[in-house]
Structure 1
Amino acid sequence: MERLTFPAGGAAALDEYLEYRRIVGEDDGGKLFTPEEYEEYKRKVLPMRSENRLFVSWRSPTGMDCKLVGPETLCFCTHRYKQHKTDFRTIPQQRPLSLPCRVTGCQCGAYLYVPLNGAQPVRCRCKHFADQHSAAPGFICNACSKCSGFHSCFTCACGQPAYAHDTVVETKQERLAQGKPVGQDVPYAAMGGLTGFSSLAEGYMRLDDSGIGAPSVEVLDSPVTARDHPFLKAFQASSSSPETLTDVGTSSRVSSLRRPEEDDMAFFERRNCGKIKMEKAAKLKGKAPLPPTTKPS
């Protein structure tokens, strides 16, 4: 396999271009800014993004953000979030906030998230896919005449139907008032609701305040019971001895906690080493010689 190599300074130039693209997005119209234009753009836009960033999420009736929208997340109109208007010098007072699509000819007047069923768009009750409906208000089906507007009964992982969810656009202050994470201020365009790596997970799996919330110390330290997930029970049941089972359970809970001074690589390496040691100990115990027995005379 041929190895890709960069000339001297090529990797740094690639990083600079990626940084440029994340900041500028499509505001340059496809023609790169000159260094002077780029600096002027940042001088005008970056303070505005820091003060007026909008957070976009797909929220269930229970208040959980089942999906946090990012730059590449598709809208009902099939265009991405970064192709919608996301920067405002002054945030409008009306609610809900509308983020119209900027693609020429698109009839989308407000960003609207629609979930996917695997890799496909979900179906409407008229049996046609979401992308077969008009992006204009009303969302009439283009493939049939009996549809009165897009309405999907697709069930989200949270247990609620898609039609019960709302695409929510809110400010940093509005989000903080609800106790939801806002992350750090970043200069990048169309970040939406992304505040960290956990933002990419579904709401019921996200261990922060935008999902089900981080478990308490009492929950993390509590012993595994018959009501817990089978994976936890199988992981703890590597030994049939009650004493060893308790020790394994305690060590596994301790090793799964990240230490303050650890980086990602050190954390995962320590967990992997602990797992290997436990497996070796279990194998050695299984190979222990049986006690001698006397043969009947």
Structure 2
Amino acid sequence: MSLKKTGLFVLVLVLTTVILLGTNLPGEYRLMYALQDSGHFLIFSLLTLLALWLFGKNLTRPIWPVMSLALLFGISIEAVQYLIGRDPSLYDILMDLLGIVAGGVLYCGFIKRSFSSHLSILIVTLLALVAFSQPIYWSFAYQVRVDQFPRLINPDSFFSRALIEGSEGGEIRHIDLPRDASIPADSGINSCVYVTLAEGPWPGVDMQEPEPDWRGYAYFELAIYSDQVADLPLTLRIHDQGHNRRYEDRYNRRLLVHTGYNHFTLPMHEIEDAPSGRSMDMANISDVKIIAAQKHIGRGFCLLTMGLR
């Protein structure tokens, strides 16, 4: 291989390293994280295709050594991330591997001509669908979030439930409501997100990415069903994107949940005025949590619905 081609490939490796180690997509959102992970597929597809084109002058030479070196490069990137204090990811290596295979398939289909270009496109398309399954998944979830607003959570919807998770010890699962549950007939609720208060500092449920713009609404509404014999004290936390992680910089509201059906209606102006020394940014709400103290570990509740009006 000529010196010019060698220099080109080294430059591409350096740029790839800089991109993988030094680039983060804007915003702390699930979709952005998923796109960043899936981006490994595109990067290693192009890197492998370029390497095979530069090194594969002899079309009879096997391509697996170049592909193996590309995978080793990907593993090395994750090892460097560990050394510089970032979290290495097996998922990123999987995306690297899918990209390497895609690059090899493109090379064999369009340059080496080992099989038809149409078959090459089909295989790469299937690999790309696998690699971008997470961004596609979160795109659907975000669209459901928009469509159901001002309702924030619909337990009957799979993609709506995707937006919530257990918080610091909380464990969640989707269940059908008990037949004897005394839920208002006009609620239209058939199931709930059951939150088990497991071991952790603040067990509960967390919605990290609600629809952010709450302007123009007067009330925050929350419905909970409790199958517990005794009352269960919970805390509702809401904060915006500017939250500094201090207690006084968010909305904190104690909720006493009784046995059976509980409906809470909270004035929106209380949420807006909650942070000390400033107003809540109602156009950029970023997190809603319902949590309990550690002494209530082992208990649980059903989250029925959450929304604005």
Asked if TM exceeds 0.5, the reply is no
Choose between structure 1 and 2: higher strand proportion. Answer: 2
TM-score (norm 2): 0.22
Choose between structure 1 and 2: higher helix proportion. Answer: 2
TM-score (norm 1): 0.22
